[in-house]
Structure 1
């Protein structure tokens, strides 16, 4: 992109905002080089990088880049066989450490299955060097100070220095305490020439012997190293020299280790700087609430709610800007200070930002085209030195544009044809537009000439636009109106400000017929636009209501489908549990009988009946089970003593007389008391008003579905005994006093079995054969 466009559209100010978020030296260098690109694949890659950075910023906080220095000077010195100091080596160590950290960071993103478009590939360019990284981190801290762990010799020397310091201080304490303090100007130990000394009054300089290292300005104090510590100070000095030599050796060794790896380390630093810049672009996008621009496949510009990023967000007006679909030239007319130039700059700057890989201050799904150049002629660039007038300056710029423009260029011209005679200016403006249009470039121009409004109306691929003006407040609204030329508001404004009506009327009469017709056309268009906007607003309100109704319906439908699916799934789960439990119980009964058979024991008749009854009890009526599972949600009621309930396994009504625990209740069923789990009870809802509380009454109920006669004829023995056992239980629950068991004559086996069973059952009061008229010995009447 040409520098003039970047300067006029203030692209550098955007980069200055991004720079606030950079932390690496090399990142700032990359930002200075940041330019809009004209190759679509490169633009898309840069946008993808910013999108990845924005996603990471939202999910993980940000890419963990450290504050890193530029390593080019260090690299040049190492390549010339020079050695680095501790600070420079520490900076290299930080790059290596940050490389390791980013490798681990992106591995974690992959583990979390976070999709990224570009940054995994960028991270792959980092070359980890764990051995060198560990060696530097063990040898230097972040400031470049050599650590004790750098070598065993250094650790030993520093330990010796520490011990000598302690010995010297202990020896010096005899001079700063007790009677010797009277010979000192101050009872302290200090340093001169890296040697421990005491401040002695001049008249007592021979008192302690030793070496004089310094004298105060007044001459009253001598800084003396007492003879008693001279030897220790000598040892300390020797150890300090050894320490310096060992530190230099360590730094030289580290330099030799880094030297062959420096090119890869510098490349790592470059990649880390790219991550830093991506972080900064993502943070700036978040600050201005920018969105990802989409590159149009049809080379059109379609911006929704586009805002100029450098204007106060509380004051800037958003506009929809569209070009390329049906028209490539837009002529914006309207009064001064109405926002024409800002609208033009908004389009240009957003294009530059997008082509530099930045997010744009527009609504999501906004599309940009990739231009090979953006040409601008905005503002008064009159040059006194070159003796160019305003018109000459504009013509010079436009001539340059005409020579360089292509079919993939964007041209922005402010006040086209201004600065000369209006009639000539309008004519040259039309000629310029026709010449530029021959290259099929995109053009946005502003003008005050009414002739250009007619030109735009009659020329293919050209459209009028204007900045809205409020006739009531006499102020611009800064809204871009595409398809409507700007009306002349001079007479309206003058009249509303109090100008004499005769003056206004005289001015209007002096206008040519064409101008009057044009103004009438514009006024008619404006009225139609306002009418359309009013109806459109009403339709939008109704559409919003319809969408709310549809959304509510879809939510309820989804909820119903989910509830249905949930109930079916719950029923299936419960059914499977019941089947598994029944199978387990039946297997247990059969295994018990088999065990008795294997042991040679005689299986008694009552045991067979009991086993058969147990197997029969495992079966439950399908309707009951379905009800128990599918209607469980309806039975989620609190059960308490005194409630009327239905015992689902027996389909009988009873009353809760005791609560044993949270899930077990004792229920009075007729003359029986039985225990049930809460899931086997269903609360009976009464439609009658609740009576006053009275002592619990036990009621005997009669089931209308149970016959008073059981016919066992034709059944096998075990099946007949099982049916008899179940029938007697049901008859007791139904409240029957007497029942008839029809067993027939046959071989007499079932009749004998019935007799044996009735003799054992404690609930049977008495029994005997039926009268001859009722079956005789083929039936037994039982009193319960």
Structure 2
């Protein structure tokens, strides 16, 4: 994509907005490098990934990107076997934790809907919880190593505390003993060694090593000889502590190095997911949808809005071309919105081709173009001695050199800056040249000659920006199919120009021109109404087609599921019968053995009769299974609407929708399906009072079980704000579904930041009826009690 179009259409501003929604610096770099993709497959895949991320935000809330940093430098050092700093290791562990949590986030299915593209990306994540845990266990701050990092470090620090306490006691007693020679009755430190401030005239009274003196020279900082050995021991322990910390950091770095490929891969995937969800958050904030993409160059933007204009004041417009016409000529007054319309088409095309959802209504369509050219704005150059006309023409020449059937060309005030007659002729010639190359064109103009050109040329359509004569203000609405009507006489009359002057002006205009203006006014109302009806019909047809495809897919899945269930049931029943036969034969064999040892022949005959009866029953059952028939209740000769009946061929209970018809069939509802079934194939449903009691008891037990599975409180202490909001949101959903009426959120007292964050979230949460701080005995200000709806 050419850089000029990206600059003129302010694509960079869109990327700067999206950057604000990222969590890590590496994702910002991906956005910085983002440009429109050069093949339709990539465009559709990247739009799909953004759409899936948008759906995940709605269904599951924000993804677990807490603590995601740019760790590319740390990974580069680790790959060379270098020892990493505590902060670098900590950030690597946070990225590993984020990747692991995201895998749980995406693969924890709350419904049957899948997220194909994002799931494929996440398949590459390799959980490295052992490395993650080791780092978090050893490092507790950006520059702080935990005592639990190793037994040796724990032992060294324990000895260090004991030595430090001992030296403090001793130096305290020395301060009291030498108080008459000291500047102040206190001790201090110089170079990690304990010293006391001795007045210079008494330096001989305090034997020891001089480490420093005050700026005036009146005070000497002396380490008494009695402290030298203790200070030496402390210094030695600190050196051992430093060496052990370096060993621990090297060991952790080696662990990262041993799995460096997986670590780097996880970091890259988290970066890519951060980039994808930044696009999704932008889509959520700007109320965007995912457009359809076609390779025929068709553009159909429904209620398109320019994303850089305040969404509270921007006027949405329907903009389309590529089907009945491939060129659109927009006319209208200055400040009427022509240039904004032009920029809206170009910017939304570039955004969609970059995999970014756009601010339009559902079922909008963008065309796949390899190039979007834009000649917008005045780029005259004093240095290059270029006038406005010359700068425009230089740009247009470049466009004509490169444009083809996979190009979209945008022209603002085509042919302006020169003589109107010559400019209009040039504009028509330029449009014809690009039309011959099958490029798609949107152009704005003031020339009335272009209105006539669009009216009489097939494949070229007029459009205009509406102007309200009553208020003398533009409405910024785009009217496709209607050329711009001159409102000079009406505006002049509103502004107070006498009627006789207006009448004289009209007499000087040719009758054909006045009739043309009247024709435009007549066409305006008819065309708008016809276009609106046609577009609504097209949208309804598209929705009906999608509904039919969805229904056909569900029907196919249901049929396959039913067939599979019946086959499995038959296999299982056959297996049970086979086992029963074998067991019966084994029992009879054992009985014959017993009879041989002493039973009479009468007993044997009775046993043979019973065996035959059992065998006959099993064979009857097997025959029924082979036919796919399971009897349940008596045959029916009459049914009523709303009656529950059993269909043996489906092995399912159904509801009767309509009474029997001439063909002796009834329409029944089976799940989401409505099917015709012969009356003779229906059976009565048998359900005893005992069965009803059991079902009712089961429902009560399930309700109690559901409530008991959800705790009445959630503990957020130790979490950061993002993690706490995510955890609370999920907990409130679970509590609401479980039927809890009151729950407690434990956030602790602390600085109050976590409490304020949770309270801000509760104000907007759909399940929350009211909330308050805990009373005495409930946890006070460290707990927020929430009443659920």
Please, what TM-score do these two structures have when normalized by structure 2? 0.66
Bigger drift between 362-371 and 327-336 goes to: 362-371
Partner of 1:631: none
The residue number in structure 2 matching 1:129 is 128
Q: 1 CA distance for matches of 2:165 and 2:393?
A: 85
Q: Distance in 1 between matches of 2:184 and 2:59?
A: 63
Cα 1:578–1:255, aligned 2, differ >3 Å: closer, same or farther? closer
Rg comparison, structure with higher value: 1
CA contact (8 A) 1:65 1:275 kept: no
Checking the alignment, whether the CA contact within 8 Å between 1:201 and 1:221 is kept in structure 2 is: yes
- Answer yes or no: is the 8 Å Cα contact 1:377–1:394 preserved in 2: yes
What stretches of structure 1 of length at least 5 have no aligned partner? 540-560, 582-784
SS for the counterpart of 2:144 is: coil
What is the distance in 2 between the residues matched to 1:156 and 1:297?
71
Instruction: Name the Cα RMSD after superposition.
Output: 3.0
Deviations 1:401-458 (CA, angstroms, capped at 9, x unpaired): 1111121211110001101100111101000000000111211000011110011011
The 5 Å alignment of 1:488-527 reads 488-527=486-525
Closer, same or farther: CA 531–43 of 1 in aligned 2, 3 Å = closer
Are residues 1:143 and 2:142 paired?
A: yes
SS of the residue aligned with 1:38?
Answer: coil
Q: Residues 112 and 171 from structure 1, CA distance in 2 versus in 1: closer, same or farther, beyond 3 angstroms?
A: farther
Residues in 2 aligned to 1:562 and 1:244: alpha-carbon distance in whole angstroms = 85
Corresponding residue for 1:384? 382
Structure 1 distance, partners of 2:285, 2:441, is 31
Q: Does 1:16 align with 2:16?
A: yes
Q: Which residue number in structure 2 is paired with residue 366 of structure 1?
A: 364
Shift of 1:533: 10
Question: Secondary structure at 2:688's aligned position in 1?
Answer: helix
Cα distance in structure 1, aligned partners of 2:163 and 2:318: 79
Distance 1:508 1:198 in 2: 106
Give the aligned partner of residue 555 of structure 2: none
Partner residue in 2 for 1:283: 281
Residues 1:330 and 2:331 are matched in the alignment: no
**Per the alignment, do residues 575 and 159 of structure 1 end up closer, same or farther by CA in structure 2, a change over 3 Å counting?**
closer
Deviation at 1:161, TM superposition (A): 1.2
Give how far 1:384 is off.
1.2
* Match runs of 1:473-492 below 5 Å: 473-492=471-490
The structural deviation recorded for 1:320 is 0.7
**Deviations 1:169-227 (CA, angstroms, capped at 9, x unpaired):** 122222455x7545433333321111122223334434443222111112232222222
Separation in structure 1 between the aligned mates of residue 135 and residue 481 of structure 2, nearest angstrom = 67
Is contact 2:52–2:118 with CA below 8 Å preserved after alignment? Answer: yes
Assess, with a 3 A threshold, how the Cα gap between structure 1 residues 167 and 534 changes in structure 2: closer, same or farther. Answer: closer
Pick the aligned partner of 1:263 from 241, 261, 264.
Answer: 261
2:251 alignment counterpart = 253
Post-superposition Cα deviations, 1:654-705, rounded to whole Å, max 9, x if no partner, equal xxxxxxxxxxxxxxxxxxxxxxxxxxxxxxxxxxxxxxxxxxxxxxxxxxxx
Q: State the alpha-carbon separation in 2 of the partners of residues 235 and 268 from structure 1.
A: 45
Distance 1:568 1:240, change over 3 A: closer
Q: In the alignment, is the contact (CA less than 8 A) between 1:53 and 1:63 conserved in 2?
A: no
* Matched residue count: 556
Q: Which moved more, 1:249-258 or 1:55-64?
A: 249-258
Mapping for residues 686-725 of structure 1, pairs under 5 Å: none
Which residue pairs with 1:577 in the alignment?
A: 689
- Residues of 2 paired with 1:6 and 1:88: CA distance? 37
Cα drift, residue 512 of structure 1:
3.9
Aligned mates of 2:79, 2:691 — CA distance in 1: 81
Corresponding residue of 2:594: none
Q: Distance in 2 between matches of 1:8 and 1:126?
A: 40
Number of the residue aligned with 1:194: 192
- 2:289 is paired with a residue whose SS is coil
Matched-pair contact (CA < 8 Å) for 1:75–1:263: no
Summarize deviations over 1:464-483 as a string: whole Å, max 9, x none. 00001111111110000010
Looking at structure 1, the residues matched to 306 and 644 of structure 2 have their Cα atoms a distance apart, in angstroms, of: 52
Mapped partners of 1:195, 1:578: distance in 2: 87
Q: SS of 2:259's equivalent?
A: helix
Shift of 1:312: 0.9
1:116 positional shift = 1.0
Q: Once the two structures are superposed, what CA deviation does each residue of 1:63-97 show, in whole Å capped at 9, x if it has no partner?
A: 21244343443344445554333333333333323
Aligned counterparts of 1:121 and 1:239: Cα–Cα separation in 2: 52
Name the SS for the 2:116 alignment partner: coil
Shift of the 48–142 alpha-carbon distance from structure 1 to 2, 3 Å rule, reads farther
Verify the 8 A CA contact 1:469 1:476 in the aligned structure 2: yes
Residues 213-267 of structure 1: CA deviation (Å, up to 9, x unaligned): 1111122322222222221111000111111122222223333333343233222
Note if contact 1:331-1:453 (Cα within 8 Å) is conserved in structure 2: yes
How far apart are residue 119 of structure 1 and its match? 0.9
Question: CA shift at 1:118, angstroms?
Answer: 1.1
Task: Tell me what 1:48 maps to.
Answer: 48
- Kept in 2, the 8 Å contact 1:53–1:279? The answer is yes
Classify 1:311/1:58 alpha carbon distance in 2 versus 1 (closer, same or farther; 3 Å). Answer: same
- Judge which range, 316-325 or 153-162, deviates more: 153-162
Q: Which residue of 2 aligns with 1:86?
A: 86
Q: TM-score, structure 1 length as denominator?
A: 0.66
Q: Which sections of structure 2, spanning at least 5 residues, go unmatched?
A: 538-639, 646-652, 656-683, 694-789
1:99 maps onto 2:99 in alignment: yes
Contact 2:303/2:361 (CA < 8 Å) preserved in 1?
A: yes
SS, match of residue 195 in structure 2: strand
SS in 2 for 1:382: coil
Q: Is the CA contact (8 Å cut-off) linking 1:491 and 1:504 kept in structure 2?
A: yes
Q: Distance in 2 between matches of 1:533 and 1:432?
A: 28
**What is the rounded CA distance, in whole Å, between the counterparts of 1:527 and 1:112 in structure 2?**
48
Could you tell me how far apart the structure 2 residues matched to 1:369 and 1:568 are?
47
- Report the Cα distance in structure 1 between the residues aligned to 2:688 and 2:79, rounded to whole angstroms: 77
Residues of 1 paired with 2:257 and 2:143: CA distance?
17
Question: Shift in Å at residue 297 of structure 1?
Answer: 6.6
* Mapped partners of 1:43, 1:423: distance in 2: 43
Choose from 292, 295, 300 the match for 1:294. 292
CA contact (8 A) 1:94 1:142 kept: no
Alpha-carbon shift at residue 494 of structure 1 (Å):
1.5
Matches within 5 A, 1:171-250: 171-176=170-175, 181-250=179-248
Structure 2 distance, partners of 1:423, 1:221, is: 96
More off after superposition, 230-239 vs 212-221: 212-221
TM alignment of 1:543-692, pairs within 5 A: 576-577=688-689
Q: 1:564 deviation in Å?
A: 6.5
User: Residue 152 of structure 2 corresponds to which residue in structure 1?
Assistant: 153
